[in-house]
Structure 1
Amino acid sequence: MIDFPTLGMGTAPIGNLYRVVSDAEARATLDAAFAAGIAYFDTAPHYGFGLAERRLGAALAEHDPQGRARVSTKVGRLLRPTDAQGERHGFVDADPFEPHFDYGHDAVLRSFESSQKRLRRDRIDLLLAHDIGRLTHGDAHDDHLAAFLDGGYRAMRDLKDAGAIGAIGIGVNEVAICHDLLDRVELDAILIAGRYTLLDRGAEELLDRCASADVQVIVGGPYNSGILARDLSGPLHFDYAAPDAAILARAQAMAALCREAGVALPAAALQFPLRHPQVMAVIPGLVGADQVHDTIARLGASIPATLWPALDAAARAHPLAKAHSHA
């Protein structure tokens, strides 16, 4: 069993996700995270095409020279130089590279070596195959899966056996590929984003299976890309798009229950995944010292035991279409 802190920081936002984040703001975020005691950071080459890893690596070198903080990064994309600028794949004015999917043996090794350099670390605690799945890749899924099973997975196992990484797994937002790979290979951990939240319970059966298989689970996207990050104020996004009527009805019912209990909806959203004993960490994406401070407060907020069954009942009373769960 791998041992990670309960709270981690997702670094996609400091890779300029959706907006330009200055070096100073990114560093202030990381400084605040270390000061608050956050000791797990999840990143990926895709986040700003190396930018998030570079920024995290610089902060780790200053704040954690002994390598005590846990770090996870990912493989599955190679970065190639580009002259393109502006917004690309959701990242704005990021580093001058273009990501290309490649889950093959040699590509995994090259990606890992590049991440080591950007992160300034010889050893990475957890290495995850990133965004593999049919919903992501469509008709190319079978080829990408074959490349991973025929070579990429072996490269990850070899890195683990050599001591260069502590554990291996996948980092995805699709439930079906998790079941498929659990049938085929041994995994230490699964990072599942957006599929085990107050709103979307699509990974419930997966978590129970992981418990039986002794596979640790990390939950990303606890706010479902924003709808749960505030008390339903301002423009709302669910899985990076406007919420439909079913999602909004479920969110409104849960928000009302939280208000009645004197609990902030984001606090319940952050704490919800940790109720399952197989979830070892939750990793909201953070940018700005204020978000770090808000996250610490939400994690420590007192939630009446009676609220959880009420929220579960609200989820049952407002069913979602199966498509929402990426199953």
Structure 2
Amino acid sequence: MARLPRLGFGGAAVGNLYAPVPDTQARAVIDAALAAGVAYFDTAPHYGFGLSETRLGQALAGRDVAVSTKVGRRLEPIQTDERERHGFVDAAPFEPVFDYSYDGVMRSFEDSLRRLGRDRVDILLAHDLGRDTHGEAHADHMRDFLEGGYHAMRELKDAGAVGAIGLGVNEQAVCDEALDHVDLDVFLLAGRYTLLEQTALDGFLPRCLKRNVRIIVGGPFNSGALVEPPGGGPIHYNYAPAGAEIVARVESLRRVCAAHGVPLAAAALQFPLAHPAVASVIPGMASPAQVADAIAWMETPIPAPLWEDLRVEGLLHPDAPVPSTRAAA
């Protein structure tokens, strides 16, 4: 897999995730990321039901940047007056339908290329497989992927239309399950290896290193828990209001970071990159100000005693690699 920049752009927000983003604002945030040197953009058909891909395709035309998108859902045209569907507001008039079959993957990929205005993508990911997502339907979807969709992705890679293939998921267990059956290049794993959550160190990340599988860390702020300011209302974790245990852990992390004069968000954004399996972190960005924040956090020097204090307080896994004391530019 080609080397990715350490900081990438998560494209769900410009697909109107949870809040409408006007076309002018979406273009402004993408342009701000490009101007700041961001050179990797992740998207998916599901993000605004084609809206994120379309906006990125227009803004990235002629740009030499890495792009990843996803397969596993067909977009079926519908008529609807609902403003919010599946978490996306004022999105395009399509309904996402799970389809991990060979034909479904090929159709989804062709549609993505058209929206993106590209003839290839750097990374293609099977989106949202997993038992937590699909419940009793998981086995059927995994079978469709292993017997159909995976072979389509391999063909696309072999033909040069895709640089690397993998999964884009919120669940670690399904990544392990997939590795039991097939070879993959990369996992975009959202929220499962962060300053708040490090159980991936117990077997999964070592296995990825052994298999030469790279990790892209999505959701480095755990749905906002590691970036939302204190006192601003309930913090969120896993796309929902956080429970008391998570709230207490976040407050402990914030307290230790504050003692060293470091924003919690800076430690959260830099931490995953210290692991040798991690290729990139891709926070969501919805405004030029959020782009500027992400750049500043990536460049914030973090003193070694901060990581030591987190480990002493049991907030950091004993085996977790930590960034060096220089700024993680």
Q: TM-score range by the shorter chain?
A: over 0.9
**For 1:50 and 1:304, how far apart are their aligned partners in 2?**
42
Which of 195, 213, 223 is equivalent to 1:215? Answer: 213
| Residue correspondence of structure 1 range 61-100 to structure 2 within 5 A | 61=61, 65=62, 67-84=63-80, 85-100=82-97
- The residue number in structure 2 matching 1:192 is 189
Residue 129 of structure 1 pairs with residue 122 of structure 2: no
How many angstroms does 1:231 deviate by?
A: 3.8
What is the total number of aligned residue pairs between the two structures? 314
- The residue number in structure 2 matching 1:255 is 254
How many angstroms does 1:317 deviate by?
A: 8.5
| Residue correspondence of structure 1 range 157-306 to structure 2 within 5 A | 157-204=154-201, 205-235=203-233, 236-306=235-305
Aligned amino acid, residue 130 of structure 2: G
Identity %: 58
Q: 1:254, 1:314 within 8 Å by CA — same for their partners in 2?
A: no
Q: 2:129, 2:141 within 8 Å by CA — same for their partners in 1?
A: yes
How many angstroms does 1:2 deviate by?
A: 2.8
TM-score, scaled to structure 2 = 0.93
**For 2:113 and 2:313, how far apart are their aligned partners in 1?**
45
Which stretches in structure 1 are left out of the alignment for 5+ residues?
A: 319-327
Aligned amino acid, residue 279 of structure 2: M
**For 1:55 and 1:165, how far apart are their aligned partners in 2?**
21
**For 2:35 and 2:115, how far apart are their aligned partners in 1?**
22
How many angstroms does 1:232 deviate by?
A: 2.8
- The residue number in structure 2 matching 1:41 is 41
How many angstroms does 1:269 deviate by?
A: 0.7
Aligned amino acid, residue 30 of structure 1: I
Q: 1:250, 1:315 within 8 Å by CA — same for their partners in 2?
A: no
- The residue number in structure 1 matching 2:322 is none
Aligned amino acid, residue 280 of structure 1: A
Q: 2:310, 2:316 within 8 Å by CA — same for their partners in 1?
A: no
- The residue number in structure 1 matching 2:29 is 29
CA separation of 1:283 and 1:96: change in aligned 2, threshold 3 A: same
Residues 262-290 of structure 1 show CA distances to partners (whole Å, capped at 9, x for unaligned) of: 00001111111111111010000101000
Aligned amino acid, residue 9 of structure 2: M
**For 2:72 and 2:117, how far apart are their aligned partners in 1?**
20
**For 1:212 and 1:158, how far apart are their aligned partners in 2?**
24
Pick the structure with more helix per residue.
Answer: 1
The secondary structure found in structure 1 opposite 2:160 is coil
How many angstroms does 1:309 deviate by?
A: 2.7
Q: 2:45, 2:52 within 8 Å by CA — same for their partners in 1?
A: yes
Aligned CA-pair RMSD = 1.3
